[in-house]
Structure 1
Amino acid sequence: MMYGKAGKLLVSIVLAALAAGCASGPQFYTDYDPGVDFGSYRTFGFFEPMSIEGKNYSTLFGESFRTALRREMTARGYVESDNPELGINVSARMQEKTKVTTSSDPFMYGGYYHYRRGFYDPWMTYGYGTETHVSQYTEGTVNVDIVDMAGKRMVWEGVAIGRIKEGRSNAEIRQAIDSGVTTIFQDFPGQAGQ
């Protein structure tokens, strides 16, 4: 299947945010409206198209999200419907980041005491050295939003953030989506009809 440039970037974003073994490990967050009774809802459905299924994006990964999200919602007693009470949307974005790390190194200049070079003066550089490392990377963010369709307001959000790792197969990306959605839904606040 052919992907446009944006589609390939989406593949990287999804992988970065959800794949186990990311460079710094993905971070997962959820939030919800505490005033909402999630047990009062019975049905769910998906936005058509979801944000990640827009122009230049492959539906392959959208379908992977749908499959994982469908599993999580039906496990909680919700029924998929063409006229849902809860609508689900998935979006993704990426952002270039710069990380600057500075550390003190009392022996930076020439190793241990610059090894007694010159006519002695071993203490001259002690305590003045610093090392600065600058790295650039791309951070991907995937949002899963659940919206009260009658009120047109978001009632729950799951977020996955991580560094982009390239070169993964489609099967690895689908597995990352599946496990990421499972992790995001661990603290989902309700069951249908309860």
Structure 2
Amino acid sequence: MKSFRLFLPAVAAALTLAGCATGPDIKTDYHRGADFSAYRSFGFVERPGTDRQGYESLTTQYLKTAVQREMSARGYRYVPQSPDLLVNFNARLQEKVQVSPAPVPMMGYYGYRGGLYAPWPGYGFYNDVYSYTEGTLNIDLVDRRQMKLVWEGVAVGSVDARDQANAQQHIDKTVAQIFAKYPFRAGQ
């Protein structure tokens, strides 16, 4: 139970990527040999990557709702049994540290004086250190018959823990941003 209490906030935070001022970095890729015109329906994998406790989390429920909206808007029908495409999600958080090193001093103070006029140790020459949490959300579309990944959308961005209170809204926005780069429509 303890691991679940730690996991749910982590997943919710990972999905608040849209809360960043600049928004998440979105990347997509697809299998060039897949016939996307053959896909007309979708469903969800039995155990998505966001459900590690053996039951459906709120995060998974929010993701399913957002993905259903985006796929339906592109002409796909939701079919729980034997769909053409299976949808899976994964989310993770990772603590990051960014260090910007101080500039190397030139020949002493202001670059033209040396010797006794060199800068004082620690004066004006320091490293900038920035700690942040990076969240990643993956949405995978899998050809059910071949059990092969045919499309993947990934959002990566800095996560602000204050946005956890509005997790559903941030999930909706991030999923919409990912699917904005999905170039296909059902049967086309």
Q: Which residue of 2 aligns with 1:193?
A: 187
Q: CA deviation at 1:90?
A: 0.6
- Kindly indicate whether residue 127 of structure 2 is the aligned counterpart of residue 132 of structure 1: yes
Q: CA deviation at 1:133?
A: 1.6
1:101 touches 1:134 (CA, 8 Å); kept in 2? Answer: yes
Question: Runs of 5+ in structure 1 lacking a partner?
Answer: 114-120
Q: Which residue of 2 aligns with 1:117?
A: none
**Partner SS state of residue 141, structure 1:** strand
Q: Which residue of 1 aligns with 2:65?
A: 67
What is the CA–CA distance in structure 1 between the aligned matches of 2:54 and 2:10, rounded to whole Å? 10
> Percent of aligned positions with the same letter in both sequences?
38
* TM-score normalized with structure 2 length: 0.82
Q: CA deviation at 1:123?
A: 4.8
**Partner SS state of residue 160, structure 1:** strand
- Count of residue pairs the alignment pairs up: 179
Q: CA deviation at 1:129?
A: 6.0
Q: CA deviation at 1:159?
A: 0.5
Q: Which residue of 1 aligns with 2:14?
A: 13
What is the CA–CA distance in structure 2 between the aligned matches of 1:158 and 1:144, rounded to whole Å? 5
The within-5 A match list for 1:1-194 is 4-15=5-16, 18-21=17-20, 25-55=23-53, 59-81=57-79, 82-104=81-103, 123-125=117-119, 130-170=125-165, 172-194=166-188
1:28 touches 1:161 (CA, 8 Å); kept in 2? Answer: yes
What is the CA–CA distance in structure 2 between the aligned matches of 1:74 and 1:56, rounded to whole Å? 27
**Partner SS state of residue 101, structure 2:** strand
What is the CA–CA distance in structure 2 between the aligned matches of 1:130 and 1:186, rounded to whole Å? 44
CA RMSD of aligned residues (A): 2.9
Question: Runs of 5+ in structure 2 lacking a partner?
Answer: none
What is the CA–CA distance in structure 1 between the aligned matches of 2:13 and 2:72, rounded to whole Å? 28
* TM-score normalized with structure 1 length: 0.80
